[in-house]
Amino acid sequence: MRIGMGYDVHRLIEGRDLIVGGVRIPFEKGLLGHSDADVLLHAVMDALLGAAALGDIGKHFPDTDEAYRGISSLKLLEKVGKLLEENLYIIGNIDASVIAQRPKLAPYREKMRQNIADALHISVNQVNVKATTEEGLGFTGAGEGISSQAVVLLETVGNYSYGYDPMETGTGGMPSGAGGSCAGCGGCRGND
């Protein structure tokens, strides 16, 4: 079992769309960033990458790369999901909080949960999204920005596979001693 924590913050400015959890939210300001600046998805991605010891979103999607300018963070989250799959990680659950004084996010939380689940090919009951204010305190309370925190739990394929040690591999990338498969999970592609 591996646990990861992610944190992100973006400044609110005029002239940008506000996108949180892959949902376009009607508001007079949006978040400033190289991509769509989806603060929730950025925190989730950093938590996932951190739990897998695979760096952070700046390593994988640098803001100096024009390929990521204005990109949907849902597409980046899908890439993180594929990276986890390639490294034989299974998502246990995601618990995230968005901290914003305004706008109220409660009407959009279920769609945010569904977007995250769909991008990662997991069940929506593995994703929780909460929203809170800071009661007028700090930069979020003053309406200068929005922040987000996320905690995730990952497990390895080895936790579900009889006789599989994730640190040992046999030929073709398949687990040694596992008879060439991971107890029928169908997730390994070592013989492709």
| Angle subtended by helix axes 109-120 and 39-51, to nearest 10 | 40
**Across all residues in the chain, what is the average pLDDT?**
86
What's the pLDDT score for residue 165? 53
Percent helix, strand and coil across the chain, each to the nearest 5: 35, 25, 40
Ranges of each domain in the chain? 2-157
Of 81-95, 155-169, 177-191, give the lowest mean pLDDT range: 177-191
**Euclidean distance between CA atoms 148 and 142, whole angstroms:** 16
Strand order in the sheet with 127-132: 30-31, 2-13, 145-156, 89-99, 127-132
Would you say 100 and 30 are in contact if contact means Cβ atoms under 8 Å apart?
Answer: no
Residue 181 has pLDDT above 90, yes or no: no
Residue 110 has pLDDT above 90, yes or no: yes
Of 104-108, 119-123, 153-157, 181-185, give the lowest mean pLDDT range: 181-185
Residues written for the chain: 192
| Residue pointed to by tokens 């991008």 | 119
Whole-number percent of the chain with pLDDT over 90: 68
Chain segment 131-153, per-residue pLDDT in tens: 999 998 889 888 899 999 999 99
Annotated binding site: 8-10, 34-35, 42, 56-58, 61-65, 132-135, 139
DSSP structure string for 68-83: GTT--HHHHHHHHHHH
* DSSP class of 58: H
Annotated binding site for a divalent metal cation: 8, 10, 42
Q: Which CATH superfamily is domain 2-157 in?
A: 2-C-methyl-D-erythritol 2,4-cyclodiphosphate synthase (3.30.1330.50)
Q: Is 0.75 surpassed by the pTM of this model?
A: yes
Chain segment 51-106, per-residue pLDDT in tens: 999 999 989 998 888 888 889 999 999 999 999 999 999 999 999 999 999 999 99
- Three-state DSSP at 149 gives strand
